[in-house]
Chains A and B, each alone.
Chain A
């Protein structure tokens, strides 16, 4: 018989895995994935209790959590893109600007391996005739 505590155990395991991942990994995207993992652990808790109590409150919460997580994913990925453009790296430890003034930057005991050089973006060959300047481009 699978009781509610089994579900809760799965949720707790997922949450702990997410927490450990969030605290130990330095890649922004992996950290984000870990955070999502924690959310899913919580969601399983909700669903389990929903079934246990025989009502839909937990289910409703879960739906909300999924919807909010989707929005959050969009925003978080957009932020990562901006951060990446600044420093050309996803290493979270490069961002220490909010520390107390005067404190040294916390050093990196094991630096990340250098990122591979980005392949250049493909350029499309221009097609068709180049319109002459000053003339209307449409009939």
Chain B
């Protein structure tokens, strides 16, 4: 029987092995149609390992570490990953994994949802060219993501962080022969790279300040607490740089533009990477670094403002989009904004409460957004790759299972009571409200609370706008549609829909508190909290308020799209320019194009001109010996006797010189 610490290694290793096997299957013609099997099997086994680890965590709460520290000899057991330099500046990175409560929650979501999405993909990707490539990269993604979560130092985490970025690039550009997909993949890669540069700078800034130069989380956090007084500006800068990385990965203002374009990838990929797991890595990072961020309230407020602004802006854009997947993409951006808002309250509110709220929303969001995306994928699969909501309606008659699963996800996203999203969104609102009562920045948090409430209303409206337009009303389908629901796609939909309905009950204040109790055992959170008392009470007024907001939004959508047809058009024309502002995504892409892309293009043009000049100059110099050689080239005429004659004359000349001139 494997010990629990060695199970930790299996969690990222199994999907990695699966990725290799998928690639091998893809290379053998007879096995190519079975390439999904290693990916699915390894994802399932990885989930089993996670289940064991989480069971152990709930038992005693102490983090599980790999390699196990040998307490008898007092010797540190290190598995060296790499080591560069010598003396004071040695950069030495051990391979060390650790699973605490935060990692446990993340892993549960990643492997469980990952497995079901792999199963869904079997049906969705069936017969697609590059079937094996798809499953290989998805499996590699699961390996990188679990490695990122399990890493116990910043550099190993960064390796996983970049690994998921790479897989995201490969999967967004899966249909690379399509120029739009290739562009979207490049955009996603480059925009997140901007954030990653900040992240690595922040990591090295903290590394430079920590004694003995270690990247270990606990080591750095402990040092921060001691040294913060003397180096507060440097630590603030480091926090801002880490925030920069989180903003890039999690698609927040100003770097959110890549996520809606990333919808060019296959829909299960959007569900897995761009809704449930990878894009929430930024939230995970902020939660992990909570002991750092509680020290810098100014940065915390920045996080909260970025989150709230992103939530509002993305929800505003989502109101008018016609593309079902884009509605969901902007909704993802908006929901991650909610998570940032929650995490940004740590400090003003109790850090444990803030981080718990953020992670709880991350957890429930992973389920209901995955089911929403997969349902959209199912629609797309049946509608012959058409995803424009103007081209179909009333699909509940032909796709009943998809309709119910989408409805479950939509209710959860809208925050209708008892569904998963209700509990987590309510917790976030409560956290923000509590932060609003603090002394510093209290008024700012109160404003953000108002923004969050408005966003929640918009969320409920656009979610049900999408639902009513797609599944209700008269049956209308595009040319070539072939609605069908194979079981291999329906089963994951149903499982995840059940999750969207019921997963909120892991922390349904006032009924259950399992999630909060579990998360608060994470050592970093305990450290960040510093012994502050957290009262987990039900705020009934807020709960009724948020339920009312959700129902109001749903009701508005119902009125506009079901009761009074034409009300939507009237509202659009009444809103005038505001409507077009939303429809055109607030022209952010155009502004970025003007501000950044065009100047860079100009610079690239100048560089190209410079290169052309230098290149021609080099060619000119190189041609001088060529033209000089033209004079003596005819001597090489290929005649053996001519060469022999030359040689004889040469020898004669030399011998003559020796004899007659006594050289």
What chain A residues lie within 8 Å of B638 (beta carbons)? 95-100, 103, 106
The residue of chain B having its C-beta at the shortest distance from the C-beta of A20 within the complex is B648
Verify A103–B633 contact, CB threshold 8 A.
Answer: yes
Q: Which residues of A contact B3 (CB under 8 A)?
A: none
* B637–A99 touching, CB < 8 Å: yes
Contact A100 B639, beta carbon cutoff 8 Å: no
Verify if B179 is at the interface (C-beta below 8 Å from A): no
User: Nearest Cβ distance between residue A87 and chain B, in whole angstroms?
Assistant: 15
Query: When the two chains form their complex, are residues B636 and A99 in contact, meaning their CB atoms are under 8 A apart?
Result: yes
Given A19-B648, A23-B645, A23-B648, also A100-B634 (CB < 8 A): yes
B624 at the A interface (CB under 8 A): no
Interface flags, A58-102, vs B, CB<8A=1, else 0: 000000000000000000000000000000000011011111101
In the docked arrangement, what's the CA distance between A107 and B633, Å? 17
**Complex CA–CA separation, A97 to B640 (angstroms):** 11
Interface residues of B in 624-653 (CB under 8 A from A): 633-634, 636-642, 644-645, 648
Q: What chain B residues lie within 8 Å of A26 (beta carbons)?
A: 641
* Residue from A92, A97, A98, A103 in contact with B641 in the complex, judged by beta carbons closer than 8 Å: A92
Q: B634 — which chain A residues lie within 8 A by C-beta?
A: 100, 103
Known: A19-B648, A23-B645, A23-B648. A106 touches B633 (CB 8 A): no
Where chain A touches its partner, the secondary structure class is: loop
Q: Report A82 CB to chain B, min CB distance, Å.
A: 16
Q: Which residues of A contact B639 (CB under 8 A)?
A: 92-93, 96, 99, 106
Q: Which of A26, A92, A100, A106 has the most CB of B within 10 A?
A: A100
Partner of B637, one of A19, A22, A31, A103: A103
Provide the residues of chain A in CB contact with B644, threshold 8 Å. 22-23
Of chain A, the residue at the smallest CB distance from B638 is A99
- Interface size counted on chain A using CB atoms at 8 A: 16
Q: Is the interface of B mostly helix, strand, loop or mixed?
A: helix
What does the 1/0 interface line of A91-129 toward B look like (CB < 8 Å)? Answer: 011011111101100100000000000000000000000
Q: A19: which B residues are within 8 A, CB to CB? A: 648
State in angstroms the CA–CA spacing of A31 and B644 once bound together.
Answer: 11
Given A23-B645, A23-B648, CB of A95 within 8 Å of CB of B640:
yes
Q: Given contacts A23-B645, A23-B648, is CB(A106)–CB(B640) below 8 Å?
A: no
Chain B residues with Cβ under 8 A from A96's Cβ?
A: 637-639
Smallest beta-carbon distance B645→chain A, Å? 5
Q: Are A106 and B637 in contact (CB under 8 A)?
A: yes
B648 nearest CB across to chain A (Å)? 6
- Cα A98 to Cα B636 with chains together (Å): 8
Q: Which residue of B lies closest to A35 (CB)?
A: B644
User: CB-CB < 8 A to A23: which residues of B?
Assistant: 641, 644-645, 648
**CB 8 Å contact bits of B325-360 with A (1 = contact, 0 = none):** 000000000000000000000000000000000000
The residues of B that contact A98 with a CB separation of less than 8 Å are 636, 638
Which residues of A lie under 8 Å from residue B636 when comparing CB positions?
A: 98-100, 103
A129 to B633: give the CA distance in the assembly, Å.
65
Q: Which residue of A lies closest to B640 (CB)?
A: A92
Q: Bound state CA distance, A96 and B633, in angstroms?
A: 15
A26 nearest CB neighbor, chain B only: B641
Contacts of B640 in A (CB 8 A): 92, 95
- Smallest CB gap from A98: residue in B: B638
A97 to B637, CA, bound (A): 9
Query: Which residue of the partner chain A has the closest CB to B633?
Result: A100
Give the distance to chain A from B306, nearest Cβ to Cβ, in Å. 67
Cα of A29 to Cα of B537 in the assembled complex, Å: 113
**B19 vs chain A, min Cβ distance (A):** 52
Which chain A positions have C-beta within 8 A of B633? Answer: 100, 102-103
For A93, list chain B residues within 8 Å (CB): 639, 641
Contacts of A92 in B (CB 8 A): 639-641
A100 to B630, CA, bound (A): 10
Question: What's the nearest-Cβ distance from chain B to residue A92, in Å?
Answer: 6
**Closest Cβ–Cβ distance, residue A83 to chain B (whole Å):** 12
Chain A nearest CB, measured from B630 CB (Å): 10
Report chain B residues within 8 Å CB of A99: 636-639
Q: A97 vs B642: C-alpha distance in the bound complex, in angstroms?
A: 14
**Complex alpha-carbon distance, A97 and B634, angstroms:** 14
Could you say which residues of chain A place their CB within 8 Å of the CB of B648?
19, 23
A35 → B minimal CB distance (Å): 9
List, in ascending order, chain B residues with CB within 8 A of A103's CB. Answer: 633-634, 636-638
Min CB distance B243 to A, Å, is 65
What is the distance, in angstroms, from B629's C-beta to the closest C-beta of chain A? 9
Complexed CA–CA distance, A92 and B639 (Å): 8
- Which residue on chain A has the smallest CB distance to residue B648? A19
Report chain B residues within 8 Å CB of A100.
633-634, 636-638
Nearest-neighbor residue (CB-CB) of A22 within chain B: B644
Distance in Å: Cβ of B626 to nearest Cβ of chain A:
12
**Distance in Å: Cβ of B519 to nearest Cβ of chain A:** 77
A102 to B626 alpha-carbon distance, docked (Å): 14
Cα distance, A102 to B638, chains bound together (Å) = 12
Give complex CA distance A19, B652 in Å: 12
Taking CB atoms and an 8 Å cut-off, the chain B residues in 369-404 that contact chain A are none
Q: Would you mind naming 30 contact pairs between A and B with Cβ atoms under 8 Å apart?
A: A19-B648, A22-B644, A23-B641, A23-B645, A26-B641, A31-B641, A92-B640, A92-B641, A93-B639, A95-B638, A95-B640, A97-B638, A98-B636, A98-B638, A99-B637, A99-B638, A99-B639, A100-B634, A100-B636, A100-B637, A100-B638, A102-B633, A103-B633, A103-B636, A103-B637, A103-B638, A106-B637, A106-B638, A106-B639, A106-B642
Please give 14 more A-B residue pairs, beta carbons under 8 A apart, in addition to A26-B641, A106-B637: A19-B648, A22-B641, A23-B641, A23-B645, A92-B639, A95-B640, A96-B639, A98-B638, A99-B638, A99-B639, A100-B636, A100-B638, A103-B634, A106-B638
10 shortest interchain CB distances as A-B pairs: A99-B638, A96-B638, A100-B636, A98-B638, A99-B637, A100-B633, A23-B645, A106-B637, A23-B641, A99-B636
> Which residues of chain B have a CB within 8 Å of any CB of chain A?
633-634, 636-642, 644-645, 648
Q: Which residues of A contact B (CB under 8 A)?
A: 19, 22-23, 26, 31, 92-93, 95-100, 102-103, 106
